[in-house]
């Protein structure tokens, strides 16, 4: 996401020189050097090598990789898959990290596989899919045909908006995943991630209707999803005729009252994204509170990679979710651009952990995905301790955001 304005001032170099002297004298210079090491160019080269092989598999099979299942690469579902945009999105970030045109060519090739999904009205995840693929394409190369696809996707997405609720409906209640739950108008915290597409469409076209939907959805989420400690529910079900909340539940967390790690990450990322487009301080303040809840949680391990649900007592038996950590790292770099609180240090620590041999796969390993030890959905016994294409995407985005600092 591009930052609309810079709010941090250039340093006073006399003060900076004195500060460096103090750092050296106190021994804090070591920490300064460590922080300057991220991202390492060898990590970017390694990511390029891995993705050359993963891209070769994708081209040979004519499929977009999603994860690993039963020892083989699991491609995206035929017809529609919420994760479909992350692989071309990763290729776009490799292009920006390396400036090698082959990554842009590959990103275009795989994004074009998604074109027909723009008319699928049965999901809120068009923002995920098209902002991460066609959105990057248009941001970088300004081609009208890409904007046309994005507009189709945005217009399809806002069909799911209910003005009485003030939100975009997440899952369908009569078909598909979770339809058996008996919900009336379910909205999930993940849905915050689909708003960036709408903000960008208003920015690119001058038509405010997209941003108006996004702002209404953000406000409804702000008012209904967060507990007193700023942890988040996963699902809030609404009465579509009155707009009142009916139930506060989960689909992928441990329990209705627990803190599903990736859900906390989605909320953090989503609200700092909304602030970056609106500059309405209430969104920044909420993002800071979500960040403080997450970062100060007593169950966060020393290496900053959370277990799949933060409410569970940490142990080696509880799977980690490195995808949540990657999302948080990227969000914290964005948050640090706007906040007076230093979030960069923690973002770098998370990025350093993700770049370690424990979480970053060796060359040729992990079926050529980058990040290991991710968790999709424990309650559904799906994608447990495997790579996930969205973990790679947010890891590369975090690398890119750090490189821009």
Q: Which residues are annotated as a binding site for substrate?
A: 125, 190, 250, 262, 266, 377
Whether 256 is a known active-site residue: answer no
DSSP for 273-319, written as a single string: HHHHHH--HHHHHHHHHHHHHHHT-TT--TTS--BSBTTSPP-TTSP
Report the DSSP beta bridge partners of residue 382. 377
**What is the phi/psi pair of residue 229, to 5°?**
-90, 5
Q: Which residues are annotated as a binding site?
A: 125, 190, 250, 262, 266, 377
Q: Which residues contact 327 (CB under 8 A, 6 or more apart)?
A: 262, 265, 266, 268, 269, 390, 394
Q: Which residue carries 């821009």 as its tokens?
A: 404
Radius of gyration, alpha carbons of the chain: 21
Backbone angles phi, psi at 178, to 5 degrees: 75, 5
| Pairing relationship of beta strands 374-377 and 382-386 according to DSSP bridges | antiparallel
- 256 Cβ neighbours under 8 A, 6+ residues apart: 233, 248, 249, 250
Catalytic residue of the set 81, 106, 125, 336: 125
Q: How far is Cα 216 from Cα 278, in angstroms, rounded to an integer?
A: 12
Q: Output the CA–CA distances (angstroms, integers) from residue 249 to 21, 230, 367, 401, in the order listed.
A: 53, 16, 35, 33
Do 164 and 187 contact (CB within 8 A), yes or no? no
Residue 125 catalytic? yes
Element (H, E) at 237: strand 235-238
- Among 81, 106, 146, 190, the active-site one is 190
Residues that are catalytic: 125, 190
């Amino acid at each position: 996401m591009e930052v609309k304005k810079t709010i941090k001032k250039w340093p006073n170099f006399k003060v900076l020189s004195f500060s460096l002297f103090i750092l050296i004298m106190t021994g804090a210079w070591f920490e300064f050097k460590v922080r300057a090491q991220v991202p390492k160019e060898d990590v970017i080269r390694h990511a390029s090598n891995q993705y050359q092989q993963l891209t070769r598999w994708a081209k040979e099979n004519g499929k977009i990789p999603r994860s690993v299942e039963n020892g083989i690469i699991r491609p995206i579902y035929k017809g529609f898959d919420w994760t479909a945009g992350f692989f071309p999105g990763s290729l776009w970030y490799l292009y920006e990290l390396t400036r090698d045109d082959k990554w842009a060519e590959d990103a275009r090739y795989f994004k074009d596989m998604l074109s027909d999904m723009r008319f699928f009205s049965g999901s809120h995840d068009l923002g995920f899919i098209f902002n991460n693929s066609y959105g990057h394409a248009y941001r970088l190369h300004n081609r009208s045909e890409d904007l046309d696809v994005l507009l189709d996707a945005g217009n399809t997405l806002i069909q799911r908006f209910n003005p009485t609720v003030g939100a975009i409906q997440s899952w369908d209640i009569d078909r598909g995943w979770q339809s058996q739950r008996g919900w009336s108008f379910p909205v999930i915290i993940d849905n915050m991630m689909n708003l960036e597409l709408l903000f960008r469409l208003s920015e690119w076209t001058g038509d405010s209707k997209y941003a108006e939907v996004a702002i209404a959805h953000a406000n409804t989420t702000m008012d209904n999803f967060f507990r007193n400690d700023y942890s988040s529910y996963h699902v809030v079900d609404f009465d579509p005729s009155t707009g009142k909340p009916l139930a506060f539940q989960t689909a992928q967390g441990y329990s209705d009252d627990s803190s599903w790690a990736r859900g906390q990450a989605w909320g953090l990322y989503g609200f700092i994204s909304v602030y970056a487009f609106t500059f309405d301080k209430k969104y920044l303040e909420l993002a800071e509170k979500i960040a403080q809840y997450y970062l100060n949680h007593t169950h966060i391990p020393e290496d900053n990679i959370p277990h799949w649900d933060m409410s569970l007592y940490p142990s080696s038996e509880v799977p980690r979710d490195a995808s949540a950590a990657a999302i948080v790292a990227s969000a914290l770099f964005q948050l640090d651009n706007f906040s007076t609180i230093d979030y960069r240090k923690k973002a770098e620590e998370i990025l350093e952990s993700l770049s370690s041999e424990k979480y970053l796969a060796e060359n040729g390993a992990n079926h050529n995905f980058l990040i290991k030890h991710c968790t999709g959905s424990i309650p559904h016994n799906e994608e447990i301790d495997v790579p996930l294409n969205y973990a790679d995407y947010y890891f590369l985005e975090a690398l890119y955001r750090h490189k821009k600092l």
